[in-house]
Structure 1
Amino acid sequence: MSFAPGIKPRDRVDMMYISIEAVIALASVLGNVLVVLVVCVNRALRNTTFCFIVSLAVADIAVGVLVIPLAIIISLGPKLHFYTCLFLSCLLLIITQSSILSLLAIAIDRYLRVKIPTRYITIVTQKRARVAVCLCWIVSFLTGLVPMIGWNRRIDGNLSSSGDITCGFTTVMSMDYMVYFNFFGWVVAPLTIMIVLYGEIFRVIRLQLNRRAEATNDGDRYYQRELKLAKSLALVVILFAICWLPLHIMNCINFFCPECKIPPFAVKTGIFMSHVNSALNPLVYAFRIKRFRVTLIQITRRYMLCRPPEDTPCPSSTPAL
């Protein structure tokens, strides 16, 4: 394999890595900004479920704005103070944790909607949904910053006189924290709860549809809508698991089998997959949620395709669907 004069193979790999990450970051930010904009424009989408979806979108925007740039910086191995490097690494965990807790909140919300439909509106209010979102982010910060209070890999003998190190995620982050606390406690457990909840959601919906079909020869529209939306949101959870589990599994391999060597290419691929997840969610909403898709098309037509003369206004704002 030949390389351009003056560019080493390692530099070429770094450039490719940075370029791909930059594309993922741009897609994550643009896609999820549109998610927030769609919810703001369409009043019909300003419900408790989309309150949690906006929280997830904000976390995905943070991936593009903060996580990916920080991951690039850390991958280059800059010289930083130990606790500066550790704090930057903790930020990556905080954003990830906020995503999974937002997904869990969505699952609980949909479960309550099909389990207690008559009492749902009085129990799950907009105010309580906002409180739940705040709690998700508070818990994310608390769990993500645990390494800062001592559960880390600080070894004084490896520090320079100024406390500087060559910054790297595995250099500062303790693997037992990543495996036992972060993965088993705050990834596997929430994912398991979500699987159980969505399983129960589909069971209840199918049961209700069958009962109504037998009684009236026509399925209830309410539960048909709930079934379609539940499938879309369950797909978001599945994509999260597919994108994030490989990286966590590699962490487990490193922890339980230190002599097992994982190729750097596999690690890079795992990192890419975890970041790509943030760009996928808007695609799921656009292709599978009709109200979201219609509003997105109307926004595109209004702000990108409508170019009237100065004295001719664009069409009126998007009506509620």
Structure 2
Amino acid sequence: MAANLTAAVAAPEAAARGHNVPALLFGVLLIVVIICGNLLVCLSVFTEKALKTTTNYFIVSLAVADLMLAVLVLPLFVYSEFQDGVWTLNTTICDCLMTMDVMLCTASIFNLCAISVDRFIAVLIPLNYNRKHVDLRQTVLLSATWILALAVASPVIFGINNVPGRDPSECKLENDDYVLYSSVCSFFIPCPIMVLLYCGMFRGLRRWEEARKAKLRNSIQACRKLQEAAASLPPLASLPPPLPPIIEREQTDTLDEPSTYPSPDRPFHSSKYKDGPVPTVSFAEIKFNPDIRRRKTAKINSRERKAMKVLPVVVGAFLFCWTPFFVLHTMRARCQDCHVPPALMSVVTWLGYVNSALNPIIYTVFNTEFRNFFKKFLHRCCSKSTR
């Protein structure tokens, strides 16, 4: 009986040793942070008028990918980590998990790549860029990110993971050729494209800044020359009579009565208006035709300079979090003699998932409009809780 009691006590201890409690706690916290942060990003874009821009719609697409990752992938991944890396569910669920994991990670990368393409067009071809509304080009970019991500991940759900001698106690991508294919399509091709596009954008912004400074210097020099020329002129002996004052009045008055303002074809006599009524003219009659091309270019370039402060940080954080995973993942698939410790693979996988929680924090720190929305949201929540 004592032996049975000892075995009964030892069994729970052995089970407890096989459970990774810190991974469970960290995983639950990570899921909560990802869901709350990315929900706030989506809510801010759809409720704040100042945030309804085409760039932020791409950011919403990225936030949706992170949300789906937190809801569909991370719970099963955290459960597997809690079981100390042992997969206790069936292989069909594992294949669904791998499909969603590959698709959502690929969608995140493709969304960042689509943002870089959109920014490149906005900076270098600003007159063809629609900042306030999503046009056909941007709709195609948004749709292509998800369609291509699904195409990259679809072989897993169609059975490419069912290799001979598969270990059902481990959930991973089993086909080494597919591991290489997915890594190249999902990471090693889009990342250099993003880097090259951002380099081109920085060069374009630098050229625009130099041209703007040169134009400003030319304007200052022209003003100085005019001042010097005016100072060298002799004083005028007599000045022409002043023009009658222009008083704004309602447009309805202008329609009822013809204007008595003298025509440019007739000479102006100041005595005519000495004791009579003061002629008026409506501002509605003054036609102002600004150079729309120049105004639009300057306005868009100014906004792109602000956006460029945030997006390179997002891309840099993504590369920092996901590069170790894809390098080790590819190396383990192609080098059969290379031993990658399971603990190291677990760490780099966690690091990749942490990126989904970093993006809302980056928007809050580097974007004033997102930061103001989050402050107002927290203020409302705190005021409701204190009532």
Task: Please classify the TM superposition score into its range, dividing by the shorter chain length.
Answer: 0.7 to 0.9
Using the aligned pairs only, state the percent identity. 28
Match of 1:253 among 303, 323, 331: 331
Is the Cα contact below 8 Å between 2:24 and 2:79 reproduced in 1? no
Amino acid at match of 1:175: D
> Equivalents in 1 of 2:63, 2:364: separation in Å?
13
Measured against aligned partners, the alpha-carbon deviations of 1:78-121 in whole angstroms (never above 9, x if no partner) come to: 44443332222111111101111111111111111111111212
**Secondary structure, aligned partner of 2:130:** helix
RMSD between superposed Cα atoms in Å = 2.6
Determine which of 130, 134, 152 is the counterpart of 1:125. Answer: 134
SS in 1 for 2:163: coil
Q: Which residue matches 1:212?
A: 212
Tell me which residue corresponds to 2:305.
227
> Larger Rg: 1 or 2?
2
User: Equivalent residue for 1:175?
Assistant: 176
Contact 1:82 1:154 in 2 (8 A): no
Instruction: Tell me: CA distance 1:281–1:158, structure 2 relative to 1, closer, same or farther (3 Å).
Output: closer
The one-character-per-residue Cα deviations of 1:26-54 (angstroms, maximum 9, x if unpaired) are 11111111101111121121121111100
Report the counterpart of residue 318 of structure 1 in structure 2.
none
Task: Tell me if structure 1 keeps the 8 A contact 2:52–2:132.
Answer: no
CA contact (8 A) 1:98 1:137 kept: yes
- For the residues of structure 1 that align with 2:55 and 2:127, how far apart are their CA atoms? 17
Q: Shift of residue 228 of structure 1?
A: 3.1
Give the superposition deviation at 1:197: 0.6
Q: CA deviation at 1:8?
A: 4.7
Quote how far apart the aligned CAs of 1:153 are: 4.3
In the TM superposition, residue 262 of structure 1 has moved relative to its aligned partner by 1.8
Contact 1:97–1:186 (8 Å) recurs in 2:
yes
Aligned partners of 1:233, 1:122: CA distance in 2, in Å?
A: 16
Unaligned runs of 5+ in 1: 160-164, 310-321
Residue number in structure 2 paired with 1:279: 357
Displacement of 1:269: 1.0
**Correspondence for 2:103 among 90, 94, 108:** 94
Task: Give the secondary-structure state (helix, strand or coil) at the position aligned to 1:101.
Answer: helix
Partner of 2:160: 151
SS at match of 1:18: helix
Q: Which amino acid aligns with 2:99?
A: C
Name the residue aligned to 1:73.
79
From 11, 18, 25, the counterpart of 1:19: 25
Residues 115 and 82 of structure 1: is their aligned pair in 2 closer, same or farther, counting only changes over 3 Å? same
CA offsets per residue over residues 206-265 of structure 1, 9 Å max, x none? Answer: 1101110121159x6753442231131111111111111111111122123222222222
Match for residue 286 of structure 2? none
**1:256-296 Cα deviation digits (max 9, x unpaired):** 32222222221121011011000000011001011111122
Matches of 2:104 and 2:29, distance apart in 1: 19
Q: Distance between the aligned counterparts of 2:147 and 2:60, measured in 1?
A: 16
In structure 2, list runs of 5 or more residues that go unmatched: 1-9, 220-297
TM-score by structure 1 length?
0.83
CA shift, 1:298, in A, is: 1.6
Change (3 A) 1:158 1:65: closer
What SS does the corresponding residue of 1:166 show, helix, strand or coil?
coil
Give the Cα separation in 2 of the matches to 1:209 and 1:13. 58
Task: Determine helix, strand or coil for the equivalent of 2:28.
Answer: helix
Please give the TM-score of this superposition, normalised by the length of structure 2.
0.70
Deviations 1:109-147 (A, max 9, x none): 111111111121299734653443233222212211122
Correspondence for 1:238 = 316
Question: Match for 1:243: what amino acid?
Answer: C
CA 1:64–1:11: 2 relative to 1, 3 Å: farther
| Partner residue, 1:195 | 195
The answer to whether the 8 A contact 1:74-1:169 is kept is no
Partner of 2:238: none
Q: Is the 8 A contact 1:114 1:204 kept in 2?
A: yes
- CA pair 144-74 structure 1, distance change in 2 beyond 3 A: farther
What SS is found at the alignment partner of 2:310?
Answer: helix
Distance 1:284 1:69 in 2: 24
The verdict on how the C-alpha distance between 1:245 and 1:158 changes in structure 2, with shifts beyond 3 A counting, is: closer
Asked whether the 8 Å contact 2:321–2:352 carries over to 1, the reply is yes
Is 1:37–2:43 an aligned residue pair? Answer: yes
Q: Bigger relative contact order, structure 1 or 2, given CA contacts below 8 A and separation 6+?
A: 1
Structure 1 match to 2:62: 56
Matching residue of 2:114: 105
Residue identity opposite 2:56 in structure 1:
F
Secondary structure in structure 2 of the residue aligned to 1:169: coil
Q: Counterpart in 1 of 2:269? A: none
Is contact 1:63-1:95 (8 Å) kept? yes
Q: Which residue of 2 aligns with 1:298?
A: 376
